[in-house]
């Protein structure tokens, strides 16, 4: 469901996915805007809101005890379902090929550092296999990976 939400947001808000990793309690997305009108806050909201709503509905249908744990008191007499941490997350802009490559490597190494797998290619929920296969491995369970148009870094303004 999360990967579907990411794909819908990529299309709707005109971003391309460079790399990603979905971890048990967090995720990293490295995206590239395809137009000057692309807004990262809208893109993230288009992932987080619908996905959170779907999770809440599933937990409610199953009468799962986690629903209670994820329902917080926002003020006296008022509660809210909180799936995502508060705040916008952490976003950064990269301006060099080296910075992008370092970020991609950092993302892909997350599961290895956490000892969830021994090699990056063994973690299904990342773009590592796509990169290792030069874009030949396509997994329909995962969001659409576009890679980065490297010519971006060779443009003259």
Residue 71, H or E segment: strand 71-75
pTM of the model: 0.85
Name residues whose C-beta falls within 8 Å of residue 118's C-beta, 6 or more positions apart in sequence: 112
Domains of the chain, CATH where assigned: 2-154 (3.30.70.1290)
Q: At what angle do helices 2-12 and 40-62 cross, to 10 degrees?
A: 150
| Cβ density class 64-79: b for 16+ within 10 Å, e for less | eeebeebeeeeeeeee
Residue the block writes with tokens 């809440």: 56
One digit per residue, pLDDT tens: the chain, 157 residues? 999 999 999 999 999 999 999 999 889 999 989 988 888 889 999 999 999 999 999 999 999 999 998 998 888 888 888 888 776 677 888 888 889 999 999 999 999 999 999 999 999 999 999 999 988 878 889 999 998 776 666 655 5
Specify the 3-state DSSP secondary structure of 119: coil
Secondary structure class of 134 (helix, strand, coil): coil
């Amino acid at each position: 469901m999360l990967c579907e939400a990411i794909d819908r947001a990529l299309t709707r808000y005109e971003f391309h996915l460079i790399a990603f990793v979905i971890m048990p309690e967090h995720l990293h997305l490295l995206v590239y805007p395809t137009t000057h009108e692309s807004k990262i806050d809208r893109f993230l909201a288009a992932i987080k809101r619908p996905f959170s709503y779907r999770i809440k509905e599933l937990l409610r249908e199953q009468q799962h005890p986690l629903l209670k744990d994820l329902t917080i008191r926002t003020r006296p007499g008022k509660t809210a379902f909180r799936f995502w941490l508060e705040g916008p997350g952490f976003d950064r802009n990269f301006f060099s090929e080296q910075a992008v490559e370092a970020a991609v490597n950092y993302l892909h190494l997350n599961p290895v550092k956490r000892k969830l797998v021994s090699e990056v290619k063994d973690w299904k929920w990342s773009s590592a296999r796509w990169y290792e296969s030069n874009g030949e491995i396509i997994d329909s369970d995962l969001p659409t990976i576009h890679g980065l148009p490297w010519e971006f870094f060779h443009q003259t303004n």
